[in-house]
Amino acid sequence: MTAVPTAARPLDLVAAEWIKLRSLRSTYLVLLTGVVAALAIGLLACNSDASQWPQLNPGERAAVDPMADSFVGFAIAQLIFAAIGVLTVTSEYSSGLIRTTFAAVPARRAVLAAKATVVCLVAVSVGLTTALVSFAAGQAILSGQHIGISLSHPGAARAVIAAALFLATVTLIGLGIGVLIRSAAGALAAAVALLFLAPTFLHGTSRWLVDIANALPSNAIRRLVSLHPWPTAPSVTECVIVIIAYPVAALTAAAYVIHRRDA
Partner 1 sequence: MIEVHELTKRYGSTTAVDGLSFTVRPGHVTGFLGPNGAGKSTTLRLILGLDAPTAGTATLSGRPFRDRRRGLRDAGALLDATAVPAGRSAAAHLTALARTNGLPAARVRAVLEEVGLAGVARKRVGGFSLGMKQRLGIAAALLGDPAVLIFDEPVNGLDPEGIRWVRGLFRGLAAEGRTVLVSSHLMSEMENTADHLIVIGRGQLIADTPASAFVAQGTQDHVVVRTPAVRSLTAALATAGATVQPGPDGLLEVTGLTGAEIGDLALARGIALHELAPRRASLEEAFMELTADSVDYLAGDPS
The answer to whether 223 contacts partner 1 (rule: CB under 8 A) is no
Site string for partner 1, 77-116 (x = CB under 8 A): --------------x---xxx-xxxxxxxxx--xx-----
Least distance to partner 1 from the beta carbon of 121, Å? Answer: 17
Smallest distance from partner 1 to CB 260, Å: 8
Q: How far is the CB of 90 from partner 1 (least distance, A)?
A: 13
Give me the least distance between CB of 118 and partner 1, in Å please. 11
CA 247 to chain centre: 10
- The Cβ of residue 1 has, within 10 Å, a number of other Cβ atoms equal to 3
CB of 101 to partner 1, least distance (A): 8
**Whose Cβ is closer to partner 1: residue 4's or residue 63's?**
4
Position 23: which residue type? Answer: S
- The CB-of-9 to partner 1 minimum distance in angstroms stands at 6
Nearest to 88 by CA among 256, 261, 251, 262: 251
Nearer to partner 1, 98 or 175 (CB): 98
> Which stretches of the chain are assigned E, i.e. beta strand?
none
Number of residues that bind partner 1 (CB under 8 A): 38
The nearest distance, CB 259 to partner 1, in angstroms, is 9
91 vs 117, beta carbon nearer partner 1: 91
Nearer to partner 1, 51 or 95 (CB): 95
Which among 196, 159, 158 is positioned nearest to 174, based on CA atoms? 196
3 state SS of 216: coil
CB 173 within 8 A of CB 191: yes
Residue 17 in contact with partner 1, rule: CB under 8 A: yes
CA atoms within 13 A on the CB side of 133: 15
Contact present, 254 and 110 (Cβ < 8 Å): no
The C-alpha angle 237, 241, 243, rounded to 5 degrees, equals 115
19 contacts partner 1 (rule: CB under 8 A): yes
Please, is 255 exposed, middle or buried when counting C-beta atoms within 10 Å of its C-beta (0-12, 13-18, 19+)? Answer: middle
Which DSSP letter does residue 147 get?
A: -
Complex with partner 1: residue 2 or 152, whichever CB lies closer? 2
Rule CB under 8 A: is residue 12 a binding residue for partner 1?
yes
- The residue among 197 and 257 lying less far from partner 1, judged by its C-beta, is 257
Q: Is 258 in the site for partner 1 (CB under 8 A)?
A: no
Q: Which distant-in-sequence residues (6+ apart) come within 8 Å of 44 by Cβ? A: none
For 8, phi and psi rounded to 5 degrees?
-90, 85
Rule CB under 8 A: choose which of 36, 56, 184, 263 binds partner 1: 263
Judged by the rule CB under 8 A, the positions of this chain that interact with partner 1 are: 1-9, 12-13, 15-17, 19-20, 23-26, 91, 95-97, 99-107, 110-111, 260, 262-263
